[in-house]
Each structure stands twice: as C-alpha cells, then as structure tokens.
C-alpha cells in the first residue's frame, strides 16, 4: 500500500536514469527507446511531454503507469520502489488515458466508466458489484466530462470525441492523484480539444490533480502546462517552463524544421507557427 498519500511534499512520480528498449535484452540495449531519463514530477503540476514521432513520449508515459518496466534505472511511486505495490495499488493513485480506445463489445458508457472502480475492489469476492459510492464517483466524473447524458448509449455507437471523454471520465473514476494522458486531443475537433484541455486544467486547479500529458500540439501544451519536457530520440533535450522550452533554438533541431515563435495575444505564452 502507498503510505504517503497525505505527505504532499513527496513527489508522486520519480524516474532515475531510466533506460528502456523493446524486445529481447540485447536488442533492447542496442537501440533503447528511452536513454538515461531522470525526471521528478511534483505534486499538483501539469507537465507536458513533447517530441517528434518515435521520440519515446508514449513509452515514458507507460513506464510511469508500470505498463512497461524499464531494463535499467529506478521508478518510484510516492517515494517507494515499484515492488512495494500491486498493479491495482498503483491504479488507485495513477490513472492512464490511452491514445485510442478500441472496443469490440457493446458495453454502455455507464459500464465503461464504472470499470474505473476496479482497483478499489480488487480483493472483493464474488462478482464485485459497484456500490452507491462507486456510482456516485462515476456519475460525478461523467458530469465533469459532459457524458452523463450518454450513460446508456453503447460505447461502440458514440463518436470518437464522446468515447474519448468517456475514457477520461473512467480515469477520473479511479480517483487518481496523478492523471497520465497520451495525446488526449489527437482525435478531437477544435471545440472538444479546448473542452478537454479546460476540464483538465480545472481539475488541476480545483482538486490539485497532478497531470502528465503527451502532446503533438505545441500550442495547446504551451497554453495549459506549467512545465514542459522535450524528448529527442529517447533523451531529454530541454525541460522547464513553456518560455524556456518553446524557443526556436530547442525546437528546430528536434523537429528538423524552422519555426516561428511569438506570444499568444491573450495569455502571453509562447506560440509556435510554421514559416511560409
């Protein structure tokens, strides 16, 4: 069990010299996806992970969720080594929203969101029906994500945006302290992109939810993140506030194209556009 939930100054997640590669040991060591990554995620921050395709962003997120286990280096959850917890111990504190959810079976949105209660009932005998508290938590999350009115619809019959919002609602139903999002806005139109970003921001401000998000959208990340991290071929090349990271000097070598960086007229945050 995680002991330090109330101790706010313990960083929820910390990676030290993490190296990870897919496949067998030798090939994994030869071409690692992540190389010597060290990173401390502070409680209550919104951290954005940026980088081109194949730079190891999603892999980093999956290591934080213990979906993947690194060959070298250590990962700590709330200051404790990974073998201190079962997978459901972690799932009660950290929730993960994958890039895309495929579902071949006709679950309703209600059922789908209630699956987020699984880690809270992992030792339950019998069929583990969700109680009124579980349903209240799920209903609150569905209201937050504006999918409560879709509760009885089938997940296979809603639009991509509605499905993605339902998946975020499921993650919140885990009542996590840390929310990991893998390109949460990739399949959404402009309106719903903004919606998700604002909801996440609000949950962060109002409830102190720590958020780590992977994004291809530099401007969205610049706008909504407290801190950014730039990955290139599995290594961290820049880390800091949006003002530090969203600069032409660090973006151009990483993405291999020239960019224009100016300021957003309302927020003053750095803004990236492509030259003509």
Partner 1 sequence: MTVHSKEPGTVEARALPTSALFARATPADGRVAAEGQSVREAIAFSPVKWLGVSGGLGAAALVAFMVCLGFGTEAISFPQVATLLIQGVVAEGGAQDTTQSIILWQVRVPRVLLAFMVGGSLAAVGASLQALLRNPLADPYVIGISSGAALGAAVAILFGVGLSVFGLSVLPFCAFLGALISLFIVYRIAVAYRSFSVHTLLLGGVVLNAIFSALILFLTSLADPYKASGMYAWLMGSLTGPDFQTVSVLAVYLVLGVSILVAQARSLNLLTLGEEAARSLGVEVERVKRVIFAASALLTGSVVAFSGLIGFVGLIVPHAVRLAFGADHRLLLIASGLVGGTFLMVADTLARTLLSPTEIPVGVVTALVGGPIFLYLLVQQRRRIVS
DSSP the chain: ----TT-TTS-SEEEEEEEE-SSSHHHHHHS-SEEEEEEEEPTT-EEEEE-STTSSHHHHHHHHTTSS--SEEEEEETTB-GGGS-HHHHHTTEEEE-S-----S--BHHHHHHGGGGGGGTT--TT----HHHHHHHHHHHHHTT-GGGTTSBGGGS-HHHHHHHHHHHHHHT--SEEEEESTTTT--HHHHHHHHHHHHHHHHHH--EEEEE-S-HHHHHHH-SEEEEEETTEEEEEE-HHHHSSHHHHHHHHTS--EEEE-TTT--EEEE---
Shortest Cβ 107–partner 1 spacing (Å): 5
Give residues in contact with partner 1 (CB under 8 A). Answer: 62, 65-67, 86-92, 95-96, 98, 101-108, 110-111, 115-116, 118-119, 121-122, 127-130, 135, 138-139, 142-143, 146, 148-152, 154, 156-162, 170, 174, 189, 191
Shortest Cβ 113–partner 1 spacing (Å): 9
Minimum CB distance to partner 1 smaller for 72 or for 88: 88
Shortest Cβ 272–partner 1 spacing (Å): 26
Minimum CB distance to partner 1 smaller for 38 or for 87: 87
Minimum CB distance to partner 1 smaller for 143 or for 202: 143
Minimum CB distance to partner 1 smaller for 85 or for 255: 85
Shortest Cβ 184–partner 1 spacing (Å): 14
Shortest Cβ 142–partner 1 spacing (Å): 8
């Amino acid at each position: 069990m995680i002991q330090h939930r109330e101790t706010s100054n313990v960083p929820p997640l910390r990676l030290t010299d993490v190296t990870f590669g897919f496949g067998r040991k030798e090939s994994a060591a030869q071409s690692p996806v992540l190389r010597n990554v060290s990173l401390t995620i502070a409680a209550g921050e919104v951290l954005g992970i940026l980088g081109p395709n194949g730079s190891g962003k999603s892999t980093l997120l999956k290591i934080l969720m213990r979906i993947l286990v690194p060959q070298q280096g250590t990962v700590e959850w709330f200051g404790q080594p990974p073998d201190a917890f079962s997978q459901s111990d972690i799932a009660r504190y950290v929730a993960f929203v994958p890039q895309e959810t495929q579902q071949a079976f006709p679950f309703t949105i209600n059922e789908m969101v209630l699956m987020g209660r699984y880690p809270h009932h992992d030792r339950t005998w019998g069929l583990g029906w969700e109680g009124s508290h579980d349903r209240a938590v799920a209903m609150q999350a569905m209201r937050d994500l504006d999918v409560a009115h879709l509760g009885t619809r089938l997940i296979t019959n809603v639009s991509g945006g509605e499905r993605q919002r339902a998946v975020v609602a499921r993650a919140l139903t885990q009542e996590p302290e840390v929310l990991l999002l893998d390109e949460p806005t990739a399949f959404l139109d402009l309106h719903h992109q903004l919606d998700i970003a604002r909801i996440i921001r609000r949950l962060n401000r109002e409830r102190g939810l720590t958020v780590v998000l992977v994004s291809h959208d530099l401007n969205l990340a610049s706008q909504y993140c407290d801190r950014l991290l730039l990955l290139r071929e599995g290594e961290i090349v820049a880390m800091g506030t949006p003002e530090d990271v969203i600069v032409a000097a660090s973006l151009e070598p990483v993405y291999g194209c020239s960019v224009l960086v100016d300021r957003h007229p309302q927020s003053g945050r750095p803004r990236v556009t492509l030259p003509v």
